[in-house]
Amino acid sequence: MALGFNPVLAISGCEVLLRPITDKGEFLPVGSEVKVVTGNVKKKVNELARQGYRLALTYFLIAVMYRHPDNTAPVSYIWLDSRKKKSFDQELASLQDGGAIYRMIYPNGDVFERTLIFEQPASDNSKRREYKVLKIELQETENFADQRVDIDLAPSSKEKIKTLNSLVKEGFAVRDLFVSDTDLAYKASVLLERAQ
């Protein structure tokens, strides 16, 4: 950062992509202290969060955290695994009620992004968010004439796009797309968020 670069992407468990700072408010606030953690990321992230660091980037087995002198209040991070079908909706509602704010996805060691990371302020958070999850399914169609496979929304999911558009009109924003099913048969979920 002292040389005018900002971290923009965690590429692997040992690589972080940097790029020159072209706008002062571009990524991390000027004057931020940065730490990179590897290994037991969940534990190390929360240790640094108690010291006022915030999660900036993450990838499997790596996280980039920052602390700015103007914002050193402690926080904690909650890792919500989308594969917990029985408790996922309850845990998401509990996080919403507790004032947690969605930050990013953490891959679970495979190519699929399944874990949602929420930031929980230490004190009452007046900036509450409301979350909704829409599950969608894709389907393959073999196109023999063009020798290709087309992928589109399954018929059951086309109605969900209407619901998605309706939620956006009500003030929700699409925050992320994540894999929510263990059979991986072209199933995904859309996370939506609205400020309350």
First to last CA, the chain: 35
Strand-by-strand arrangement of the 62-67 sheet: 33-38, 62-67, 54-59
Strands 15-20 and 33-38: unpaired
Please tell me the pTM assigned to this model: 0.83
Per residue in 122-151, pLDDT (tens digit) is 776 667 899 999 988 888 888 888 888 888
Q: Give the pLDDT of residue 110.
A: 60
Q: How many CB atoms lie within 10 A of CB 166?
A: 10
Q: Is residue 64 predicted with pLDDT exceeding 70?
A: yes
Q: Give the pLDDT of residue 178.
A: 86
Mean per-residue pLDDT over the chain, rounded: 84
The H-assigned helical ranges of the chain are: 41-49, 88-97, 155-169
Q: Is residue 24 predicted with pLDDT exceeding 70?
A: no
Characterize 47-86 residue by residue with b for buried, 16 or more Cβ atoms within 10 angstroms of its Cβ, and e for exposed.
ebbeebbbbbbbbebbbbbbbeeeeeeebebbebebeeee
182 — pLDDT class (breaks 50, 70, 90): low
Q: Do the beta carbons of residue 119 and residue 75 sit within 8 Å? A: yes
Q: Give the pLDDT of residue 183.
A: 57
